């Protein structure tokens, strides 16, 4: 088990992002990727088992039921890279299906070292599968993986769990284009996308009655306190989930319950909050099935299959590089 990591750089990037996001005129914001420290990753794992949050179960169900069919549509030999592996639980089905026909290399690419460790533990025991983790941003990690493959070896990139939904639609499409640049013809991207559903169901998924999502969101302020020496009082902020009907996305915010001032030592900034002002911490875009196919076609892929869960509308899309 091997991990390529670049930890030192991360704290400066984090401080920089926090300074920029909180001193921005107008809507304050923080990048959602920072929700996933060790506490945040553990809270997210809990979100995934909440009855209100059907997304992860739908994603896993589709992979469990259709992995063989998906793998049968891929060229041989093929290696697997995963963008944001998380705990790696869902990936098992794909790796097992592939390992029935070949020895398989699996490269989880993940900025959360705790998630990477969990993933290596979860998937380290599958026969004929070797794991090499990359603790790097997605595209850097993917470039590193693509460079080390031999001639004639194909690549399957997994981007599951509707993580693409964190990007604005335009940025998501640009991201697909950048992934395509790194790939060769015949390589594939298996893309998980959460689909539009009843607004009440979508809101409940991001504002569960047990308060796990609230804790997940508030932990971002806790993380800034811990890692950047800030003095956020978490009891003075409230979690909020909104449906933005124009952009078709859930937005998570943290609302300041009073006028207050917060210092972030490592970012060298003092931040004023008005009563009722919010920090926008995450977007989760929701898609329509044909929209994903059109996105694929505009970014250098063709859709080689789409599988939709009936219980919780969610799609696995097999995008093939053209
Ligand atoms: C992991 C980005 C897919 O947007 O649904 C869950 C993160 N945020 N509950 C999502 C999340 C609040 C999740 N993704």
Per-position DSSP letters for 79-120, written without gaps between them:
EEEEES-TT-TTHHHHHHHHHTTS-EEEEEE-S-HHHHHHHH
pLDDT digits (tens, 9 = 90+) for 271-281: 999 999 999 99
CA-closest residue to ligand 1 atom 12: 206
pLDDT digits (tens, 9 = 90+) for 56-103: 999 999 999 999 999 999 999 999 999 997 778 889 999 999 999 999
Tokens of 230: 């800030």
- Is there an atom of ligand 1 within 6 Å of 161 CB? yes
pLDDT by position in tens, the chain (length 322) = 455 554 456 788 999 999 999 999 999 999 999 999 989 989 999 999 999 999 999 999 999 999 999 999 999 999 999 999 777 888 999 999 999 999 999 999 988 787 888 888 889 888 888 999 999 999 999 999 999 999 999 999 999 999 999 999 999 999 999 999 999 999 999 999 999 999 999 999 999 999 999 999 999 999 999 999 999 999 999 999 999 999 999 999 999 999 999 999 999 999 999 999 999 999 999 999 999 999 999 999 999 999 999 999 999 999 999 9
Tell me the torsion sign for CA atoms 48, 54, 57, 63: negative
For strand 249-256 and strand 278-285, is the pairing parallel, antiparallel, or unpaired? antiparallel
CA distance 252 to 218: 10
pTM (2 d.p.):
0.94
Closest among 227, 242, 224 to 278, alpha carbons compared: 242
Q: Say how many Å lie between the CA of residue 284 and the centre of ligand 1.
A: 7
Q: What's the DSSP call for residue 257?
A: S
> Ligand 1, from 58, 161, 194, 205: best to mutate by most atoms within 8 Å of Cβ?
161
Q: Say how many Å lie between the CA of residue 93 and the centre of ligand 1.
A: 22
Summarize the chain as % helix, strand, coil (round to 5).
40, 30, 30
CA-closest residue to ligand 1 atom 2: 163
CA distance 299 to 288: 17
Beta carbons of 230 and 224 less than 8 angstroms apart: yes
């Amino acid at each position: 088990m091997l991990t390529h990591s670049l930890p030192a750089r991360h704290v400066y990037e984090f401080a920089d992002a926090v300074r920029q996001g909180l001193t921005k005129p107008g809507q304050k914001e923080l990048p959602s990727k920072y929700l996933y420290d060790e506490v945040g990753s553990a809270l997210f794992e809990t979100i995934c088992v909440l009855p209100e949050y059907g997304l992860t179960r739908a994603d896993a169900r589709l992979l469990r039921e259709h992995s063989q069919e998906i793998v049968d549509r891929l060229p041989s030999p093929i290696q697997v890279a995963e963008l944001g592996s998380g705990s790696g639980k869902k990936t098992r089905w794909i790796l097992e299906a592939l390992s029935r026909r070949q020895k398989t290399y699996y490269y989880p690419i993940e900025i959360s070292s705790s998630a990477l460790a969990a993933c290596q533990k979860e998937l380290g025991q599958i026969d004929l599968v070797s794991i090499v983790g990359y603790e790097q941003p997605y595209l850097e990690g993917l470039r590193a993986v693509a460079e080390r493959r031999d001639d004639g070896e194909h690549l399957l990139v997994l981007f599951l769990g509707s993580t693409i939904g964190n990007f604005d639609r335009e940025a998501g499409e640009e991201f697909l284009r950048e992934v395509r640049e790194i790939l060769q013809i015949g390589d594939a991207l298996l893309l998980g996308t959460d689909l539009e559903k009843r607004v009440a169901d979508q809101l409940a998924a991001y504002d569960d009655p047990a308060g796990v999502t609230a804790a997940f969101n508030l932990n971002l302020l806790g993380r800034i306190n811990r890692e950047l020496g800030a003095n956020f009082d978490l009891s003075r902020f409230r979690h909020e989930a909104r449906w933005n009907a124009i952009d078709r996305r859930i937005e998570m915010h943290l609302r300041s319950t009073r006028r207050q001032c917060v210092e972030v030592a490592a970012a060298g900034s003092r931040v004023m909050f008005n009563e009722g002002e919010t920090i926008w911490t995450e977007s989760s875009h929701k898609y329509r099935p044909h929209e994903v196919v059109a996105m694929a076609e505009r970014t250098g892929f063709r859709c080689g299959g789409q599988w939709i869960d009936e219980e919780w509308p969610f799609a696995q899309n097999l995008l093939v590089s053209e």
